[in-house]
Amino acid sequence: MNLDSVFTPGLVAAQQPQWPGGPDGEPVTKAVNTLKKLPPLVFAGECDNLKERIAEAQEGRAFWLQGGDCAETFAAATADSIRDRIKTILQMAAVLQYFASLPVIKVGRMAGQFAKPRSKDDETRGDVTLPAYRGDAVNDLEFTLEARTPNPDRLVQVYHTSAATLNLVRAFTQGGFADLRQVHEWNKGFAKDPRFATQYEQMATELGRALDFMASAGVDPEAFKTVDFYSSHEALILEYEKALTRIDSRTGLPYDVSGHFVWIGERTRQLDGAHMDFAAKIQNPIGIKLGPKTSPEDALALIAKLNPNNEPGRLTLITRMGAGAIREKLPPLVKAITDSGAKVLWVCDPMHGNTYEAPSGYKTRKFDDVLDEVRGFFEVHKALGTHPGGIHIELTGDDVTECVGGGEMISEEDLATRYETACDPRLNHTQSLELAFLVAQMLRDRK
């Protein structure tokens, strides 16, 4: 198969940067030609493995945990920051896995999550208007004309930063760092929420006892030393994603080798748009974000386009309705899709429908809204007899103050203390673990 004939030419791509010279100009072409020569970041066989695991989750035999920054930055791709994000996801996974007795598919919004769709093309401060920040893949957060001008050389930096991040991910998850007993040690004593502290401690103790029991029963400790960890990001900048799409030598089919799993966002999933054409052509497992305005007909049309053969594991629907809407908006979608016989994994993104601006001007989310949307998600699936397949969370391993509430009782006034995100507010380390304990209980009670 010739790659040039894979994608339909001339389709409209929403949310693309105003590159100097345009999308076919010299600067973009130069970056694309560099990217095309670079080796794959992930391997087609790994994407297939993930698809098989998603197929398991679609049948209720695994749970999906996807988490990481809203927007990764080049500056935050340090050993400490990457380690602490992986650690947070592994801790959450251990809690979920133990209490739900289900394997957890661990997926980072990591090693490629550098581009952002924006509601406005420009940002105005005082009497200065500049292009909006679209992620480190495109421009810089600093509010100057030079920093905000899209620069395609950044796409090459996305590749190298993703490669360095993935290298650490692979080292950490294969080299003993992910050992379940270590993960348990990390989980000790984190509990700060007075509402749940005792319960958390009991659960952590129970988990420790189970590990001791397995060790005493002669279970090979090596079995706990490595984990599979997959990378994911929004497939937004099509020049980048297409330059990293390769024909797999085993199957002769195209895979986007920039990440194991890519999703198409709420703002770029137009049925006849370039993003949908891209997603339909690649063989990776893919996700689609669905907001509260999605009708059952919209969802069925997206499914028909992306997975016409109803391949298991291929399609994940990531709903982001908002805590106030999920109980009303999700059931008609789940009913229509279940009745159609389409195989999908239902994942709850309780972040993007719950963002608001605090009086101080910071964009934030309430921990209790996040929790309530996940609770609504479980309620809907329980009522309809379908599987609550997983969660999609914006989080960091650091002690930031970006979302309000949780055991540390971060208030709107506290937001300024440590507000570091380049885009949306993330759950901090403690809030992420608290969420995992609470979701673990929902999973335990899911049937």
Nearest to ligand PEP of 354, 430 (CB atom): 354
Least spacing, CB of residue 44 vs ligand PEP, in Å: 25
**Of residues 410-429, which lie at the interface with Co ion (CB under 5 A)?**
424
Residue 265's binding partner out of ligand PEP, Co ion, none, with CB under 5 to 8 Å set by partner kind = ligand PEP
Binding mask 205-244 for ligand PEP (x = CB under 6 A): -----------------------------x----------
Q: How far apart are CA 234 and CA 225, in angstroms?
A: 30
Question: Could you say whether residue 289 binds ligand PEP (CB under 6 A)?
Answer: yes
Q: How many CA atoms lie within 13 A of 51 on its CB side?
A: 22
Question: At 233, which helix (H) or strand (E)?
Answer: strand 229-234
Question: At 263, which helix (H) or strand (E)?
Answer: strand 261-264
Least spacing, CB of residue 290 vs Co ion, in Å: 15
Nearest to ligand PEP of 97, 294 (CB atom): 294
Question: Could you say whether residue 265 binds ligand PEP (CB under 6 A)?
Answer: yes
Q: How far apart are CA 241 and CA 191, in angstroms?
A: 41
Nearest to ligand PEP of 95, 330 (CB atom): 330
DSSP state of 40: P
Residue 117's binding partner out of ligand PEP, Co ion, none, with CB under 5 to 8 Å set by partner kind = ligand PEP
Question: Could you say whether residue 402 binds ligand PEP (CB under 6 A)?
Answer: no
Nearest to ligand PEP of 117, 273 (CB atom): 117
Give the other-Cβ count within 10 Å of 443's Cβ.
22
Least spacing, CB of residue 57 vs Co ion, in Å: 23
Binding window for ligand PEP (CB under 6 A); candidates: 29-37, 263-271, 401-409, 429-437: 263-271
Q: How far apart are CA 403 and CA 426, in angstroms?
A: 6
Binding mask 99-138 for ligand PEP (x = CB under 6 A): ------------------x---------------------
Buried b (16+ CB within 10 A) or exposed e, 260-288: bbbbbbbbbbeeebbbbbbbbbbbbbbbb
Q: What's the distance, CA 342 to chain centroid?
A: 23
When CB distances to ligand PEP are compared, the closest residue is 265
- 250 near 274, Cβ under 8 Å? no
Least spacing, CB of residue 422 vs ligand PEP, in Å: 11
What phi and psi values does residue 368 have, to the nearest 5 degrees? -70, -30
Residue 69's binding partner out of Co ion, ligand PEP, none, with CB under 5 to 8 Å set by partner kind = none
Question: Could you say whether residue 70 binds Co ion (CB under 5 A)?
Answer: yes
Residue 289's binding partner out of Co ion, ligand PEP, none, with CB under 5 to 8 Å set by partner kind = ligand PEP
Determine the 3-state secondary structure of 245 from DSSP. strand
Binding mask 163-182 for Co ion (x = CB under 5 A): --------------------
Nearest to ligand PEP of 109, 246 (CB atom): 109
**Closest CA relative to residue 264, chosen from 227, 310, 217, 318:** 318
Residue 402's binding partner out of Co ion, ligand PEP, none, with CB under 5 to 8 Å set by partner kind = none
Determine the 3-state secondary structure of 256 from DSSP. strand
What phi and psi values does residue 278 have, to the nearest 5 degrees? -60, -50
What single-letter amino acid sits at 431? Q
Residue 305's binding partner out of Co ion, ligand PEP, none, with CB under 5 to 8 Å set by partner kind = none
Binding mask 54-73 for ligand PEP (x = CB under 6 A): ----------------x---
Determine the 3-state secondary structure of 91 from DSSP. helix
Question: Could you say whether residue 320 binds ligand PEP (CB under 6 A)?
Answer: yes
Using CB under 6 A as the binding criterion, the count of chain residues that bind ligand PEP stands at: 9
Q: How far from each other are the two terminal CA atoms of the chain, in whole angstroms? A: 46
Determine the 3-state secondary structure of 346 from DSSP. strand
Nearest to Co ion of 246, 289 (CB atom): 289
Determine the 3-state secondary structure of 200 from DSSP. helix
Question: Could you say whether residue 395 binds Co ion (CB under 5 A)?
Answer: no
Distance of CA 327 to CAs 85, 208, 266, 290, 380, Å?
Answer: 31, 36, 19, 14, 6
Question: Could you say whether residue 234 binds Co ion (CB under 5 A)?
Answer: no
Q: How far apart are CA 384 and CA 381, in angstroms?
A: 5
Written as six digits, the tokens of 259 are 């990440």
Which residues are at the interface with Co ion (CB under 5 A)? 70, 424
Which residues are at the interface with ligand PEP (CB under 6 A)? 70, 117, 234, 265-267, 289, 320, 352
